[in-house]
C-alpha cells in the first residue's frame, strides 16, 4: 500500500489526537512532522518522536508531504488551507472549516483552481449515538420521525483558551454547533424551511456560551438543537418522537431506550394518576399492554472510517464522505443563525 505523507499544522489538543489516535484508522498514512507556534507543544512533539518543522512553509516546501492537517484555532483555517493548496498539498481541515460561508467559498475556489482536495473533519457523522439516530430515521422502527431533539450539555463554561475570543472564531455555535448541525443536515434530505435561534451570553463572554435552535424542514420534521455550557444536570443527548414510538439516548455511553406502541385494537385505557395536587389520565404512563420497550438498535454502519475514506479519495478517486457542498450548507445555516443574535434583537426592541 502506497503511504501518503501528512504534515500537521497545529499540534494542540486535536492535532495530537489525530496523530496519536485517528491516523491509525488507516494504514495508508505516515507522518512527516508537525509545526506549532507554541514552544511547549514543539517540545512535546519532540518527546513523542516527531519531527518539528521550523514553520508552515517548511512543510509546504517539503516534497515528501502529500497533505496537511490544519488543526489550529478556527480563524486561521482559511489562510493556512489556501497557502497549503497553492503549495500543492491536499488539506484535511478541522471543523469549523471557516468562520463564514463566504470564506469557505473562497477556499473551495482555490481547491478547484489548484485541483487539491479540501476535506473537513466532520467526525461526528461516525458517532455511535448519531448512527443509532440515523438507523431509526431511515428504518422507521418508531414510525415516521417528526421531532428530533439533539443536545450536548456541560457545566464547565467555554473552555479557557482561544474559544473565548471572537477574533479566533470562538463561541459554542462554531465549536459544537457545527457538529450538531452537520449531523442533522446530513441525516435529513429535505430543505430547511424555518430557523429560530436563541444564542446564550449568560457567562458574559463576547462569544456565545451556547444556544438553542429550532429548525423546521419541508418534509414536516421539527428539530431542536441545543448546546449548553451551564447545565449542571443534563437532558438526554437525543430525544426522538416518531408516529409509532419514542426513542431516548441519554449519553455517549449509549444508555437509552426505544418505546414502541403495540399495534392492537384492544388497548386498556391508562389508569389515572395523581399529578401534583390534581389527577390526570392524559399524562399517566401508557398501560403495560399498549407499549413494548426495546434496547437501542446497533446503528447504521459506516463502510469506511474518516481516514480510510480520505485514503480512497486521494488514491482511488472515491467520493469523500464529507462533501464540501454539505459543509458549505452548514456554513450558510450557521451564518444565518449568527445573524439572529438575541442581544441585537433586545437593543432594537421598543417594548418594555
Summarize as ranges the residues that interact with ligand NAD (CB under 6 A): 9-15, 35-38, 41, 56, 71-74, 76, 94-95, 121, 123, 161, 175
User: In the complex, what is the shortest distance from the CB of residue 12 to ligand NAD, in angstroms, rounded to a whole number?
Assistant: 2
CB of 72 to ligand NAD, least distance (A): 4
Nearest distance from residue 266's CB to ligand NAD, in Å? 50
CB of 170 to ligand NAD, least distance (A): 10
How far apart are alpha carbons 254 and 187 in whole angstroms? 19
Find the shortest distance in angstroms from Cβ 164 to ligand NAD: 11
Cis peptide bond upstream of 232, omega within 30: no
Instruction: Look at strands 90-94 and 67-70 and give their pairing.
Output: parallel
Exposed e or buried b per residue across 219-247, where buried means at least 16 C-beta atoms within 10 angstroms of its C-beta? eebbbebbbbbebeeeebbbbbbbeebbb
Q: Which is nearer to ligand NAD, 35 or 333 (CB)?
A: 35
Contact 222, 251 (CB under 8 A): no
Torsion of CA 85, 89, 95, 101, to 10 degrees: 20
CB of 63 to ligand NAD, least distance (A): 21
Q: Length of the chain, please?
A: 352
Pick 94 or 226: Cβ nearer ligand NAD: 94
* Shortest separation between residue 299's beta carbon and ligand NAD, angstroms: 18
Cβ closer to ligand NAD: 27 or 161? 161
| CA pseudo-torsion sign 213, 153, 307, 17 | positive
Question: Judged by CB, which is closer to ligand NAD: 107, or 145?
Answer: 107
The crossing angle, in degrees rounded to 10, of helices 324-339 and 101-114 is 160
> With respect to ligand NAD, which residue has the nearer C-beta, 9 or 110?
9
In terms of CB distance, is 34 or 132 closer to ligand NAD? Answer: 34
Which one, 211 or 217, has the nearer CB to ligand NAD?
211
Question: Whose Cβ is closer to ligand NAD: residue 143's or residue 159's?
Answer: 159
Q: Cell numbers of 192, please?
A: 430547511
Minimum gap (Å) between residue 39 Cβ and ligand NAD = 9
Amino acid at each position: 500500500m502506497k503511504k501518503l505523507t501528512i504534515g500537521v499544522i497545529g499540534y494542540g489538543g486535536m492535532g495530537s489526537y489525530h496523530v496519536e489516535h485517528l491516523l491509525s484508522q488507516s494504514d495508508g498514512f505516515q507522518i512527516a512532522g508537525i509545526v506549532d507556534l507554541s514552544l511547549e507543544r514543539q517540545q512535546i512533539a519532540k518527546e513523542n518522536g516527531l519531527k518539528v518543522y521550523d514553520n508552515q512553509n517548511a512543510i509546504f516546501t517539503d516534497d515528501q508531504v502529500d497533505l496537511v492537517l490544519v488543526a489550529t484555532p478556527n480563524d486561521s483555517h482559511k489562510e493556512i488551507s489556501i497557502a497549503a493548496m497553492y503549495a500543492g498539498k491536499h488539506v484535511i481541515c478541522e471543523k469549523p472549516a471557516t468562520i463564514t460561508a463566504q470564506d469557505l467559498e473562497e477556499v473551495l475556489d482555490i481547491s478547484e483552481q489548484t485541483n487539491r482536495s479540501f476535506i473537513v473533519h466532520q467526525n461526528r457523522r461516525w458517532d455511535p449515538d448519531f448512527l443509532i439516530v440515523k438507523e431509526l430515521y431511515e428504518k422507521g422502527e418508531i414510525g415516521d420521525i417528526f421531532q428530533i431533539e439533539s443536545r450536548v450539555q456541560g457545566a464547565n463554561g467555554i473552555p479557557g483558551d482561544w474559544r473565548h475570543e471572537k477574533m479566533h472564531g470562538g463561541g459554542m455555535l462554531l465549536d459544537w454547533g457545527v457538529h450538531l448541525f452537520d449531523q442533522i443536515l446530513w441525516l435529513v434530505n429535505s430543505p430547511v424551511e424555518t430557523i429560530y435561534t436563541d444564542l446564550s451570553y449568560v457567562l458574559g463572554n463576547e462569544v456565545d456560551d451556547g444556544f438553542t435552535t429550532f429548525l423546521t424542514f419541508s418534509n414536516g420534521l421539527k428539530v431542536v438543537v441545543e448546546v449548553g455550557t451551564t447545565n449542571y444536570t443534563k437532558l438526554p443527548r437525543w430525544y426522538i418522537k416518531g408516529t409509532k414510538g419514542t426513542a431516548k439516548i441519554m449519553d455517549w455511553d449509549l444508555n437509552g431506550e426505544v418505546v414502541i406502541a403495540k399495534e392492537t385494537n384492544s388497548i386498556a385505557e391508562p389508569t389515572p394518576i395523581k399529578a401534583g395536587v390534581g389527577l390526570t389520565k392524559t399524562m399517566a404512563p401508557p398501560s403495560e399492554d399498549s407499549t413494548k420497550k426495546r434496547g437501542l438498535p446497533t446503528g447504521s454502519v459506516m463502510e469506511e472510517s474518516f481516514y480510510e475514506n480520505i485514503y480512497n479519495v486521494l488514491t482511488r478517486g472515491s467520493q469523500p464522505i464529507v462533501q464540501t457542498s454539505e459543509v458549505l450548507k452548514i456554513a450558510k445555516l450557521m451564518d444565518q443563525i449568527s445573524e439572529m443574535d438575541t442581544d441585537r434583537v433586545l437593543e432594537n426592541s421598543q417594548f418594555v
